[in-house]
Structures are given as C-alpha cells and as structure tokens.
Amino acid sequence: MSNDSAPQSGLATADTTAGQTELVNVRKEYGDTVAVDGVSVAIEPGELLVLLGPSGCGKTTTLRMIAGLETPTAGTIRIDGEDETRTLPKNRDLSMVFQSYALYPHKTVRENLAFPLAKMDLSASERDTQIQEVANLLEITDLLDKQPGQLSGGQRQRVAVGRTIVRKPRLFLMDEPLSNLDAKLRVQTRSEIRDLQQRLGTTTVYVTHDQEEAMSIGDRLAIMRNGQIEQIGSPRDVYHHPENEFIAGFIGDPQINFIDRGGDHSLFEAVEPPRAAVRAGIRPEALTLAPERTQPVSFEATITLVEPVGHSYELTLDAGGVTLTALIERLPPDVGTGDTLAFGFAPADVYWFDDNGATIVER
C-alpha cells in the first residue's frame, strides 16, 4: 500500500506491518441457519479489504467473528500469526466502527475520545497528546468541548472514527459506517476514511452492501453470497474479470445486460459464442451508437427511455424484443425516445456464461 505522504502526526507512525489477518474455513451456524459457510481469506498488513454482498450474505457475522463478538462454529482466525479464534474481544487489539455511531451523549467529544484510552497505561499528558493528534487529523479540534447533540451527522461520524483510531489498534473493523449519512456526505466521508486509512496504514476490514462504495474505497473486495466468498480481487479485477454471473450482475451500475441463448436475438449468430455458452453479458457502457465508432457488431434497437445520468445518458432499448440498457456519452440532439437506430459493441466486451453461471474464459 502506498504511504508516501509524510507522517503528519505520531499516529502515522503506527506499526504498518501489523494486522495480518487470516480466516481459514470459518463457519458460523445459528441453529439451522448457516450464516457463514466456510470463509477463507488472508488480509494483508495495511490493506483495506471490503466484505461486499447483498443483505444476509454473512458479512456482519464474518466481521463480528474477527472482532471476537461471535465465536465460529468451526474454522480458525489468525491475527499476526497467532490463533485468536477464541480470544476475548478486548484482548485482540482491534477497534470497530458501527453504523450507529455510539457516542456517549452526555460526554464531550474530548471525553468520548478519551474513553478508549482509559484502560491503557498512559499519563494524563500522553493521553491529551493522543487526543489532540486525532483531533488534528480529523479536523475536529474546534469540536472537542462540544457534546454529540451539538454536532451534525457527519461530525458525529468523524468523532466515532476518532474513537476507533485513537488507540492505534492493529486492525480497524468497520460495519456499514456510512449508512446513516445522506448521499453527499457519504461520498465525502468515504474518501476521508480512505485517506485516513492510507495515512495510518492500518489494516482494515470494511463491510458494505453498496458496490459503488466498495469499488471506491477497497484495495480488494471479497464478494459474498449465501455465506461464502464468491470472488476476491481488486476493484478492477472484479469489474473486468467477474468469475460468474452473480459477480457480473452485482458489480457495475447500471447493471450488466444478460441475454439468453435460445431467444432469437441475433447477438449469438453475430459473435460466435463459445460452445458451452448459455448466456451473454454486455455492460451498458460497452454499447455505443454505432455511427459514433466503427464497431464490428451492430444491431438495430428502438429507444424506449432516455435518462440523463451525470455526463451520460442511460438508454433503455428494445432490441427485437430483448430489453437492453446502454450508457451513452454523447447523444445527438435529434435522437430520442421512439427512434430506431443502430447500436454496436466489440465482441471482446461480451462475457459468456455456462449453464452453471460460471464465466467462460477463452484461451
């Protein structure tokens, strides 16, 4: 991980080789419910790993087992080479931020920040220094004497993050830390968390169901479904090389277009699919207005809906009865809903899936 900005405070000198965390075949059952079904992953020192997946897939349970708040039914959790599977949370040297920023409402920000330090063997002046460092880092110095009720949601979340980092733990665990913030603040705060995590170099496991948030914040994503990890990779990896239909459909916004073989869509004749292919996937951003560029494959479609999104247009298309989404950067002013025209794509941009949903990798 890059850490080329000069240390700005004592906190930045935290041990960046710590926090290597390994889950080996970790499993958690609640009665008949298998919440986590054999998860194995190695989180590298200094890395920010995102656990991403739909609600109920086992992210929080996995994080809580790393924290020691749940005991695995089977499997091993090692931190820095030591088996910590059954170690009490307070002895794991890690700290956790939850979505509900649990600040003490009747204590000041300073007192809230001091709380995690209370059990540490620090002099009063060492404690003050550490609080001051965190406050500087998070730019909350002027809030130190206020109470949580006097702060905005974003400020409260910053203080909650401050409480997590003030102790200089070897591991940060964050469970949907931004979900209580409004959309704009969420985007701003996530880049602040990313920046802070890189400056501190502290190993971090971050849970979210939001693929865009995961893509923007993670060094790597571990994408979960039904208690299992389906794919681990960098944001680029999981976007460009999804291992299966689920990943291809989960990553990317607007969602990838799936086209079944056997329908009479001409796509399959036009690009010679691999023999085992039963479905194709084409990302909306891979479709273009054919006249824009010379595209090897083109097809006719009728525009049924035009939605401006940022600098692009999201078009809903009817291509011979198949509904497709296209993300087009430049839409000629005379083109709109009801028009039928040619669209195109490059065969290399098509993903093919077999009848198990696995991506077919052609060699």
**What residues have CB less than 8 Å from 224, skipping those under 6 apart?**
39, 51, 52, 53, 57, 58, 59, 62, 230
Residue ranges in contact with ligand ADP by CB under 6 A: 30, 33, 35, 53, 55-61
Q: Which two tokens stand for residue 292?
A: 């824009």
Q: Closest separation between CB of residue 242 and ligand ADP, Å?
A: 19
How near is the Cβ of 55 to ligand ADP at its closest, in Å? 4
> How far apart, in whole angstroms, are the C-alpha atoms of residue 164 and residue 191?
17
Tokens of 120: 């540490």
CB nearer to ligand ADP: give 16 or 180: 180
Which is nearer to ligand ADP, 34 or 297 (by Cβ)? 34
Task: HSE, CB side, 13 Å, CA atoms: give it for residue 28.
Answer: 25
Q: Between residues 30 and 104, which has the closer beta carbon with respect to ligand ADP?
A: 30
Q: Which is nearer to ligand ADP, 71 or 136 (CB)?
A: 71
Q: How far is the CB of 232 from ligand ADP (least distance, A)?
A: 16
Our CB check for ligand ADP shows the closer of 13 and 33 to be 33
Gap between the Cα atoms of 90 and 88, Å rounded: 6
Q: What is the DSSP letter of 55?
A: T
Give least dist CB 26 to ligand ADP, A.
Answer: 12
From the number of C-beta atoms within 10 Å of its C-beta (0-12, 13-18, 19+), residue 185 rates as: middle
Q: How far is the CB of 41 from ligand ADP (least distance, A)?
A: 15
Instruction: Using the minimum distance from each CB to ligand ADP, give the nearer residue, 21 or 61.
Output: 61
What is the three-class DSSP state of 61? helix
Distance in Å, CB of 213 to ligand ADP, minimum: 14
